[in-house]
Structure 1
Amino acid sequence: MKHLNWDDLRLLSLIAQEGTLRGAARRAGLSPATLSRRLDQLEEAVGQKLVERHQGGCVPTTFGVDMFALAEQMSDIALEVEHAQARQNASSASGVVRINTDEWLSYFLTTRFAPFHDAYPDVEVEIVTSHRPYNLARREADIAIRPYRPEQLDLVARQVGTLSFGLYGSQAIATRYAAAIANQDWTGVPFVGFDEPRAEFQSDQWLRALPGAPAPWMRCSYGLGILDGVTHGAGLGVLASFLASEAHGLVPAIAHIPELDQAIWLSMHRTVRTTARVRAVVDFVGLLFAQYHEGEG
């Protein structure tokens, strides 16, 4: 057996968790071609095939099943080492803090985080935007900020605020359809919303349920696309209220949609909650949401 690259075993663990090279490559921050090459190198090092690759995904060989189990054990040990290191560095406000959140909240953070750098110049912040929640126990991220409370028992969570939504349009749309908006006669009003794969989102379900409203004629795969379309006169769209208040020239057709309110939860693994860099970020995020709600009042 040739010398093993232990990092390749970590990649093998990701393949086991995702079931596809593409999914594992995305988690690892590699291209599928690079991950495939690394898998080839690992199979060459152990002298046996580990994975049967099919169009629908990856199926481990008998030997691969044993190697997957060992890779998982190594991943768990590596996490314990990281946790021990985090505890050792608990008094040092330096290093990288990764925040996993969704699109609206990502925009909320990135547009407000600049003062943090002045206070903590040695802390680097990575804001990872995804609809899929990252696994905090496996240190895919240090902090998650999501519109629901996590269920994992090893996470520490607290509600940091509430995100509200409204129905907005540009000044041109508000003027053109003023009578219809005032009467809530949505029959001939143009709308902007999510595309079909995201039509199950609560905001899009609400929009499509408006009495007499046509389906959105402009459909986007991401929330900021809706903001762009609404801002530039494509129609009415559901937007997070903080976005609409900061965007120039947007007019509320319905300023607040109570049924779309989202409780926002910040969560982290219990082993990182006392580290100085994570604590600094958590406190700053709490301050941002407190200021946001003070501004609403």
Structure 2
Amino acid sequence: MNWDDLRLLSLIAQEGTLRGAARKAGLSPATLSRRLDALEEAVGQKLVERFQGGCIPTAFGADVFALADQMGEIALEVERTRDRQNAHAASGVVRINTDEWLSYFLTTRFAPFHEAYPNVEVEIVTSHRPYNLARREADIAIRPYRPEQLDLVTRHMGTLSFGLYCSRDVATRHAAAFASQQWASMPFVGFDEPRSEFQSDRWLRALPGSPVPWMRCSYGLGILDGVAHGAGLGVLATFLANDQHDLVAAIAHIPELDQDIWLSMHRGLRTSARVRAVVDFMGQVFSQYRETGR
């Protein structure tokens, strides 16, 4: 028996058609069909009933599918074990280009990476201007949109959410207005005029009755600092607010400000051990954020 044919069998079960499984495996449908024939001959029984609209496993085939899936999980665990053992072999510098909110998100969560990959150095380059990955200005980009360049590999990492927050002291001093959302009598913190077209600032300035922010900042973390130290209400990424112990949510979630976060890198870096290590770690970080909001 060709054990690799069992992997193809799993793809057939997942896709439901030979054509779909062949495309995922990088084979022609005719080649995949021949491989399936060879596997059925090797096991001595029919595994799949083939119809014009797709494939249905036989009773025996369903049992073999389940075993093939177990083999797939074992193969993945072998790869993970290999990666753990090879962690010290990955080395070099990985440059990540991202914006301010996501820069804070990464820098406050990357410490465990160094323990697992001590020879990989990480540079987090913060800018509102996206760096050109094709020209290798950076290795990886984390951005709130999906890039369209054909030579890039992209991966959806999650959704960044935002809320309206203030310090506990501000909420106490303006308790009546805070409770009834009478914004006109409360102080606000926002972006300065050159950044007033940012989506979060447009939302803030359109809030019914809200005054123009009396404190205006040229960078997002300035808004966090102002809000955390009692300057007023401000729009913050929810993960930022969750990291603070003395903030109160006036509006915990502003759905229209949600941002889909995409990782992208040049396809030529897919086999780089140092880049793969960083990408895998960020996948874990964003997975935890999706589950816990932190």
Instruction: Tell me the TM-score normalised to structure 1 length.
Output: 0.68
Equivalent residues of 2:238, 2:293 under 8 A apart = no
Tell which structure's C-alpha radius of gyration is larger.
2
- For structure 2, the 5+ residue unaligned runs are 1-87
Question: What's the offset of the Cα at 1:185?
Answer: 1.4
* AA of the residue aligned to 1:218: M
Question: What's the offset of the Cα at 1:92?
Answer: 5.1
* AA of the residue aligned to 1:244: A
5 Å-filtered alignment, 1:115-130, equals 115-130=112-127
Equivalent residues of 1:92, 1:275 under 8 A apart = no
* Alignment partner of 1:256 out of 248, 253, 256: 253
* AA of the residue aligned to 1:167: L
What RMSD over aligned residues (CA atoms) do the two structures have, in Å?
Answer: 1.3
Q: Which residue of 2 aligns with 1:175?
A: 172
The whole-number CA distance in structure 2 between the counterparts of 1:100 and 1:146 is 8
* Alignment partner of 1:133 out of 125, 130, 153: 130
The whole-number CA distance in structure 2 between the counterparts of 1:276 and 1:179 is 56
Alpha-carbon displacement from aligned partner over 1:12-38 (angstroms, at most 9, x marks no partner)? xxxxxxxxxxxxxxxxxxxxxxxxxxx
The whole-number CA distance in structure 1 between the counterparts of 2:159 and 2:280 is 17
* Alignment partner of 1:189 out of 186, 202, 224: 186
Q: Secondary structure at the match of 1:148?
A: coil
Alpha-carbon displacement from aligned partner over 1:153-193 (angstroms, at most 9, x marks no partner)? 11110110111110000011111222212222111111000
* AA of the residue aligned to 1:280: A
Q: Secondary structure at the match of 2:274?
A: helix
The whole-number CA distance in structure 1 between the counterparts of 2:98 and 2:130 is 7
Q: Which residue of 2 aligns with 1:221?
A: 218
Q: Which residue of 1 aligns with 2:231?
A: 234
Alpha-carbon displacement from aligned partner over 1:36-60 (angstroms, at most 9, x marks no partner)? xxxxxxxxxxxxxxxxxxxxxxxxx
Q: Which residue of 1 aligns with 2:280?
A: 283
- For structure 1, the 5+ residue unaligned runs are 1-90
Bigger mean CA deviation after superposition, 287-296 or 93-102: 287-296
Give the paired residue count: 207
* AA of the residue aligned to 1:178: A
Q: Which residue of 1 aligns with 2:269?
A: 272
Q: Secondary structure at the match of 1:271?
A: helix
Identity %: 80
Q: Which residue of 1 aligns with 2:199?
A: 202
Question: What's the offset of the Cα at 1:248?
Answer: 2.4
Instruction: Tell me the TM-score normalised to structure 2 length.
Output: 0.69
The whole-number CA distance in structure 2 between the counterparts of 1:142 and 1:200 is 29
Structure 1 moving runs of 4+ over 3 Å: none
Q: Secondary structure at the match of 1:187?
A: helix
